[in-house]
Amino acid sequence: MDELNPSIPNVARMYDYYLGGKDNYAADREAAEKILHAAPFTPVLARHNRRFMQRAARHLALSGIRQFLDIGTGLPTQGNVHEVVRPLVPDARVVYVDNDPVVAAHGRALTATDDATIVLRHDMRDTGALLADPALRDAIDLGEPVGLMLLSMLHCLGDDEDPYAAVAALRDALAPGSHVVISHITGDDDVTDNSVSVYGRANTGMTHRSRDRLLAFFDGWTLLEPGLVRLDEWRPEPSTGTIGAGGGYYLCGVGAK
Ligand SMILES: C[S@@+](CC[C@H](N)C(=O)[O-])C[C@H]1O[C@@H](n2cnc3c(N)ncnc32)[C@H](O)[C@@H]1O
């Protein structure tokens, strides 16, 4: 796994910069500024991505899900899954997983006083090691439904890394009644070319996928209404607001097993 190297732009820290966080270095800010130049709406998309995650997590909690597995969790920022679901399910168990050492260290500090929330460092590509981790098995009962959160992370994996197989392996391991929440970058034009080239020099790439390729992540799941839509179109609430320019660059959806 990559260890901390502040001179290589890092996808988690670039995302932190878009969200106005302070956990980023000069190389991250420089790469992020290149993205912002071509796609100035990126911070708006990042905020709407968080809002979608929060609406979907609340929906799952209200549907009776009591355990959550959030993979590619990112640097801690306000309104993480455990903060969103606890008011609805006080004993909810939340497992955060990220392969980034900085994310894992921050996350451990954040959840040090919370027995029902843990942070594990794993690579999603190795679902076998993740699912076999005794810490995960202690926290999550695989015989009961799980809310699997894959927000803005599957596009970090190229097709050659087979994210479809990883999602399918997780689906097969989870109990009926489990749900998957996905958001993912899409689009194919100049903005895409720029982002592919900037992220090509970062610690992970950035793979834009078509609507059909995104629907394929939901194979074996039943896509809930309103289907695969823009971030501001998934069950919006009065406070959701609209994205405006760039809204079509992200799609999201929730599937049930
Ligand atoms: C753009 S951030 C998304 C953060 C959060 N899920 C959100 O949507 O607000 C992507 C995260 O995925 C993590 N990530 C990328 N590839 C990964 C992999 N193969 N396994 C686990 N985590 C990964 C990165 O370290 C980063 O923290």
User: What's the CA-to-centroid distance between 72 and ligand 1, angstroms?
Assistant: 3
Across 120-141, average pLDDT: 97
- What is the C-alpha radius of gyration for the chain, rounded to an integer number of angstroms? 17
Examine the pLDDT at 24 and tell me if it is beyond 80. yes
- pLDDT average, residue stretch 123-136: 97
Q: What's this model's pTM, rounded to 2 decimal places? A: 0.94
Predicted pLDDT of residue 38 = 85
For 132, other C-beta atoms within 10 Å of its C-beta total: 10
How many whole angstroms separate alpha carbon 187 and alpha carbon 191? 8
Apex 145 CA angle, 154 and 229, nearest 5: 40
Question: Residue 18, Cα to own-chain centre: how many angstroms?
Answer: 15
pLDDT tens digits for range 147-196: 999 999 999 999 999 999 999 999 999 999 999 999 999 975 556 666 77
Residue 216: count other Cβ atoms within 10 Å of its Cβ: 14
With CA atoms as reference, report the closest residue to 52 among 81, 28, 25.
Answer: 81
pLDDT of residue 234: 98
**Domains, in order of start, for the chain:** 11-256 (3.40.50.150)
Burial 33-71 (b: 16+ CB within 10 A, else e): ebbbeebebbbbbbbbbbbbbbbbbbbbbeeebbbbbbb
Distance from C-alpha of 113 to C-alpha of 118, rounded to nearest angstrom: 10
Determine the longest span between alpha carbons in the chain, in angstroms: 47
What separation in Å is there between the alpha carbon of 42 and the centre of ligand 1? 16
Minimum CA distance residue for ligand 1 atom 27? 74
For ligand 1, residues with CB inside 6 Å are 11-12, 15, 49-50, 53, 71-74, 98-100, 103, 123-125, 151-153, 156-157, 204
Q: Is the pLDDT of residue 111 over 80?
A: no
Q: Answer whether residue 1 shows pLDDT above 50.
A: no
Per-residue pLDDT at 190? 58
